[in-house]
């Protein structure tokens, strides 16, 4: 994985796991380690996390 980038859907799933407080699988832990080593993937992960937070905010406002 060192030279490969993580796909957006996988990055989004990592963000979902974080938000939901779920436990990471061994493969997901490897992907998290990759985020530490790869600035491009880390930036894309941050974008995925922001997207998730924005959608969560929209859903919360809709339900209120």
pLDDT at position 61, please?
52
Q: Is 63 exposed, middle or buried (0-12, 13-18, 19+ CB in 10 A)?
A: exposed
The answer as to whether 36 is a domain residue is yes
Chain centre distance of CA 3: 19
pLDDT at position 28, please?
96
The answer as to whether 22 is a domain residue is yes
Instruction: Give yes or no for a contact between 10 and 16, defined as CB atoms under 8 angstroms apart.
Output: no
Domain of 58?
Answer: 8-63
Chain centre distance of CA 54: 13
Stated as kind and residue range, the H or E segment containing 58 is helix 39-63
pLDDT tens for residues 14-64? Answer: 999 988 889 999 999 999 999 999 999 999 999 999 888 888 766 555 544
Q: Check pLDDT > 70 for residue 3.
A: no
- Count structural domains, the chain: 1
């Amino acid at each position: 994985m060192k030279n490969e980038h993580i796909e957006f859907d996988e990055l989004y799933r990592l963000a979902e796991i974080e938000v939901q407080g779920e436990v990471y699988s061994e493969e997901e832990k490897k992907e998290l380690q990759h985020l530490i080593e790869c600035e491009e993937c880390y930036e894309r992960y941050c974008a995925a996390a922001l997207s998730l937070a924005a959608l969560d905010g929209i859903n919360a406002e809709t339900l209120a």
